Structure 1
């Protein structure tokens, strides 16, 4: 699928993006040949339009594995793929595995990384490509204002790539601005020296400060309104990195710094919480809450969410299916938890009066969907194993609704569906970043309550305010659960439970589902284990560097502990 970011085929700068961290030996003579279907380096550096196309192309990466980024190049993270990043967490499982179950089961290894093996190579390739652009941008004829804006974009993208490296591997190799060529000595130890986590975070945050000073407050071209970096995008990424830095796993910054970074985005007075309904937030192309996202166009194919994740009774494939673990963490509409002594939860009617975000996120037995009702009960439920295409039946008894646009077709969606914007940063994340950091720094003051309650009470959600008088520890748990619910399936949970150092708890319990039996008009609900063998060891707080990368360094690159 094509994105709205144009793609150009490039010679050495892109090809050498097979850079040292993902490179096997290459033939220098081959690289000296300029193919006729690619734009030459000289053309890029002499034409500002081509150079800007090169820069915008850096918002995308390289397809490195099967079933990744079908039809289009990948962006940052997994995004809209068959197996989403939620399916290596306690949010969902991927029905057909696709190299996710081994991560859920704690079997990930340098030789077998499942869907988690692409971050290292793709990130360093991108960093090399960005360094090339920064090293040559002074040669390109253009106005100083345009040049500064492109510099800011390049620094933002580079910082994003380092952010992806740091949050997955911890210590990373910092390359600075150097552009390594195939002709360089690629055996030098300095190319494989991993810096401490604090150094990596400090570098990325400093890059974002510089980028924010160069980037515009908004993109004036509607085509690029969300798809290219702005000052707000740079500060939002800084907020996330500052929050990581202060968290127990990283222990490299302070909570005060994290709170100030989030407050800087809030003080822009540019973004607001979307009030048109929680579900609609993810199906509109643009709204006031989105800070930075990836836009797609009709006819530009990528994984069509509706067919990939919908129920089997609708001729869909039931891909990323929510687990009972997540369902249980949705509050009741009155603000009680289902485990509270005074809960209003009725186990005989478990989906009644839940947080409105539940209904916009998860399809459950009895949910209205399109022109029918979801039926996961047995016997006879059309979305159960008794229904059509039963090989696509959810293993958990639930299906994903978040991100799905009911106005887009499930049958034959190709080049028609898949038009949703994938949101990298939105204002609710910033408010939650602030609330968490401020609570850790100063306790649950009025500003912490205000940030969380703004999310809970906004039009379209309408949950009650948090109770007054919470202790710091109680507020911490409420904020963590608020992140779980508000940001479900948005690629936060994997990193949140690790940075909090609670993954040894959350990832060491089974992935539960529900069996629903029907007799007459009565239903019974029986908890079941949907995916066996789920397990987590402390070494998995970081991903293993793929063995091929270690071997390419002649074993000079340090592997993460335990692997």
Structure 2
């Protein structure tokens, strides 16, 4: 999407803007007043671009250029323990505080800076505020083509819903604000509202956007890349309803929320597929590039990719440099898949190889002997998504400089396990998102996929199973995702609890490193079971192509207690909002 910056002061957020003068209502001193903006259809359209500018970049947007996966049990961030000043290390060390959130630091920021606390929080509210300003003023704007105005209104309603969803996932219920504050508004009277009330508001906005016939299903031209569509409204609504029905946000166990979520997500899934959305035929290749834009693209699965802007390096460039194999370029190893993630992948025939662990350190796996899993050769005959996601010891990378190259993550190998930031600490490197044929950091084109059809299938499967048990619709949704990965169908006859476990496993492997796991373990309230540590395998070479391995703890964490389920609201906000209570445990 073309980013055009108006000469308008757009820095005050909803909640920090406790001053009595509206900073958008500027005096005529050479700048443009908000009233002037909405007297011109071009400037009103450009104003929407300023709303998009509040989106975080996701993917590799976290300090420094790391991924959110490293804050969950699906990865170990190899900055730890060598660089204890970096955000992931401080997260592992349990340094989250109301006035200091290691997750909430922009990628490029180095040492701790108090001004960065609440960065994403402020931007989220800024996006909501600007959406409200737009929706309150757009009626007075005359458009040559009325369908453009209708589209923009639907687009901004989806943006407002999106910003609310991103805020409440992290911080819990927020005030539901649907219009700009007046200059004399008393912010100290503003109450928080429940997660459910926020989800209801998100659904209302998305429903209205979906109903707009002039809101397109797809972006089809390059200048519009990065704009929201009707498909995004379905994705936002789907995720909000799923979260709102989940144990963390539905402590009463209200079954009606699951029923509503299942019905609406089913309608979204049907509408998306009717509009031509399909699972991409090849799981691995799907993540190598960005979606092609046309009325009938080759990539029919992507719903929304995060477009790079503002001078930030491309996602593919950062994946090459910051989550790298040392012998193949890059600055550091970044996030490496955890042994716990590796253990979650099924065998190729659908058998579950690792049923759990005998010890708290996960060094003694409970092996399903009927699965055919061989502890000496643990990477044989696994789910194809494993090979698309994880580089493991002795894996064939491909040709490098005309010669076949195998990953040498064994002790003493060229990519060998060590405590250096440039090396894996657990024996693995991340493969997902990077084409092995990409040997130059500047040749990749991948963008981070924020929403895609595969998620909608699994959102529906989970909601429908919780609402009515493992019906044929539940099986069909999960099996559609498995079939694309060339995995067999789930076994027949699963009960509700067994299906729940299979759906959770499916989400974990299908959407690894896509910023799902960190929120899933929270909304399921299993953080204390998953995030105490991560492990890996230390391989020792004993001969040509021969290795012996032992499981090792890659890193222990102090970020798994119940108060970590919901991130604390920045202290600076609570001083302005005396009616608010801090989140539990903070």
For residues 211 and 79 of structure 1, the distance between their equivalents in structure 2, rounded to whole angstroms, comes to 30
1:88 counterpart residue number: 71
Displacement after TM superposition at 1:518 (Å): 0.8
* Aligned partner of residue 154 in structure 2, secondary structure: helix
Deviation at 1:530, TM superposition (A): 0.9
Please tell me whether the aligned partners of residues 426 and 537 of structure 2 are also in contact (alpha carbons under 8 angstroms).
yes
Give the 3-state SS of the residue equivalent to 2:175 in structure 1. Answer: coil
Shift of 1:51: 2.1
Task: Kindly indicate whether the alpha-carbon contact (under 8 Å) linking 2:219 and 2:229 is maintained by their aligned counterparts in 1.
Answer: no
Report the counterpart of residue 323 of structure 2 in structure 1: 309
**In the alignment, which residue of structure 1 is the partner of 2:46?**
53
Aligned partners of 2:280 and 2:300 also within 8 Å: no
1:298 Cα deviation from its structure 2 partner: 13
Contact 1:88 1:101 in 2 (8 A): no
Select which of 368, 375, 378 maps to 2:411: 378
Gaps of 5+ in 1: 63-73
Q: Which residue of 2 aligns with 1:464?
A: 488
Query: Which stretches of structure 1, 4 residues or longer, exceed 6 Å deviation after superposition?
Result: 24-31, 33-36, 297-300
The correspondence for 1:270, drawn from 272, 275, 293, is: 275
**Secondary structure of the residue that 1:100 maps to in structure 2?**
helix
Deviation of the 1:513 alpha carbon: 1.8
Count how many residue pairs are aligned between Structure 1 and Structure 2.
529
> Which of 282, 290, 301 is 2:302 aligned to?
290
Choose the corresponding residue for 2:497, options 447, 459, 473. 473
CA drift of 1:140 comes to: 2.1
Q: How does 1:38-187 map to 2 (within 5 A)?
A: 41=34, 44-61=37-54, 74-75=56-57, 77=58, 80-81=61-62, 82-97=65-80, 98-116=86-104, 117-142=118-143, 143-179=145-181, 184-185=183-184, 187=186
Paired residues for 1:198-209 under 5 Å: 198-209=196-207
CA distance in 2, matches of 1:79, 1:260: 34
TM-score by length of structure 2 reads: 0.84
Q: Could you tell me which residue of structure 2 aligns to residue 433 of structure 1? A: 459
Q: Match of 2:378, SS?
A: coil
Instruction: State the shift of 1:103 in Å.
Output: 2.9
Deviation at 1:519, TM superposition (A): 1.7
The answer (yes or no) to whether the contact 2:25–2:34 under 8 Å persists in 1 is no
Provide the C-alpha distance between the structure 2 equivalents of 1:417 and 1:455, rounded to a whole number of angstroms: 30
Give the aligned partner of residue 523 of structure 1: 547
For residues 93-122 of structure 1, give each alpha carbon's deviation from its aligned partner in whole angstroms, at most 9, with x where no partner exists: 222253123334443111221123433211
User: What SS does structure 2 have at the residue aligned with 1:321?
Assistant: strand
Task: Indicate the residue corresponding to 1:65 in structure 2.
Answer: none
Per the alignment, do residues 10 and 369 of structure 1 end up closer, same or farther by CA in structure 2, a change over 3 Å counting? farther
Structure 1 residues 375, 33: closer, same or farther in 2, change over 3 A? farther
Partner Cα distance (2:27, 2:555) in 1: 51
Moved more, 153-162 or 44-53: 44-53
Q: Deviations over 1:130-170 (max 9, x none)?
A: 11111111222213221111011111011011101111111
CA shift, 1:391, in A, is 3.8
Is 1:266–1:430's contact at 8 Å kept on the other side of the alignment?
yes
CA contact under 8 A between 2:278 and 2:301: conserved in structure 1?
A: yes
TM superposition score normalised by structure 1: 0.87
SS in 2 for 1:525: strand
Looking at structure 2, the residues matched to 295 and 78 of structure 1 have their Cα atoms a distance apart, in angstroms, of 11
